[in-house]
């Protein structure tokens, strides 16, 4: 029985020497199921996989029927931005430490991937964010984010002053270290560390979590995923917008950062037996006995 997916692209975590062995295992296994295997170009170059066909990052989503990320959650965040514009599903293999998103272990990799190839998986669609920075009436930056868009100060000690608008309506003025605009997926990342709520990934919602606000009355709020969130920077010195903490745009006073739900969802394929609350319990170490 041949695979449901004809072309699979492998995307790996940079600077990880131990990655070559599991990649080669997949390169050997996948063609036995009728799959064409491509390696993301930077991954292929790092591990000297000259005998494998490679593809540039810009073309991953265009050519793949399925993307497999190998590494930690950071690799999967980057792969998500490649997949979502093209409706390409994503599978994560965990070589990292925490692994909220990457739920297949190296030990069970061949078995789990084989099952997924033949339709034994649980699909889950998750929202993504699209952000736009406008300066003097002109768009200067547009990015996608799977976890969050974060506006925050850089290395200086100065706080940020900004105004928050939702769907064009003024909400409040804030002063502090910044604001996190988070998807439900990102609610267990920086937003959680900043006191935000945990949102189930299926919720059609966006969380707004202040970072060290000057006023303790500025609390996290949750809005619908149809909302347009706009941040007007009124005082700025060394301020950046970060996208999944992987890309950034330096901001100036009077810049407008608008964040909306991206038009496409990202489809993650989980192995059968996956349950979100099992992941929370394991990763957050709920219920452990302390001695």
Q: Are 100 and 76 in contact (CB under 8 A)?
A: no
Please give the helix or strand (H or E) that residue 42 lies within, else none: helix 41-46
Please give the helix or strand (H or E) that residue 96 lies within, else none: none
Instruction: Return all residues near 178 (Cβ < 8 A) that are at least 6 apart.
Output: 150, 151, 152, 153, 160, 210, 211, 239
CA distance 222 to 122: 27
141 three-class SS: strand
How far is the CA of 267 from the CAs of 12, 82, 90, 124, in angstroms?
A: 19, 12, 6, 5
Enter the DSSP assignment of 185. G
Q: Are 125 and 265 in contact (CB under 8 A)?
A: yes
CA distance 55 to 41: 5
56 three-class SS: coil
Helix axes 109-117, 20-29, angle to 10 degrees: 40
Please say if 103 is a catalytic residue: no
Residue for token pair 């699979």 = 8
Q: Are 135 and 252 in contact (CB under 8 A)?
A: yes
Enter the DSSP assignment of 32. G
Residues listed for the chain: 291
CA distance 100 to 79: 15
**Catalytic-role residue among 58, 73, 225, 244:** 73
Catalytic residues: 73
């Amino acid at each position: 029985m041949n695979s449901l997916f004809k072309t699979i692209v492998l995307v790996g975590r940079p600077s990880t020497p131990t990655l070559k062995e599991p990649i080669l295992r997949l390169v050997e296994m996948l063609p036995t199921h009728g799959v064409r295997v491509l390696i993301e170009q930077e991954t292929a170059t790092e591990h000297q996989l000259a005998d494998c066909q490679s593809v540039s990052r810009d073309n991953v989503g265009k050519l793949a029927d399925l993307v497999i990320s190998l590494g930690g959650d950071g690799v999967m965040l980057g792969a998500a931005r490649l997949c979502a514009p093209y409706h390409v599903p994503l599978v994560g293999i965990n070589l990292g430490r925490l692994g909220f998103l990457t739920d297949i272990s190296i030990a069970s990799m061949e078995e789990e991937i084989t099952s997924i190839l033949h339709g034994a998986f649980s699909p889950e669609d998750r929202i993504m964010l699209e952000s736009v920075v406008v300066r003097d009436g002109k768009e200067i930056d547009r990015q996608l984010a799977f976890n969050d868009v974060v506006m925050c100060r850089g290395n200086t000690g100065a706080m940020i002053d900004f105004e928050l608008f939702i769907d064009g309506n003024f909400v409040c003025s804030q002063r502090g270290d910044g604001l996190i605009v988070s998807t439900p997926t990102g609610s267990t990342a920086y937003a959680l560390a900043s006191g935000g709520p945990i949102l189930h990934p299926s919720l059609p919602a966006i969380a707004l979590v202040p970072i060290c606000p000057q006023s303790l009355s500025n609390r996290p709020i949750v809005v619908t995923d149809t909302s347009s969130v706009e941040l007007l920077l009124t005082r700025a010195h060394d301020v950046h917008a970060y996208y999944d903490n992987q890309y950034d745009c330096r901001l100036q006073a009077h810049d407008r950062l608008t964040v909306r739900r991206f038009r496409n969802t990202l489809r993650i394929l989980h192995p059968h037996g996956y349950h979100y609350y099992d992941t929370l319990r394991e990763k957050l170490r709920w219920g452990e006995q302390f001695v």
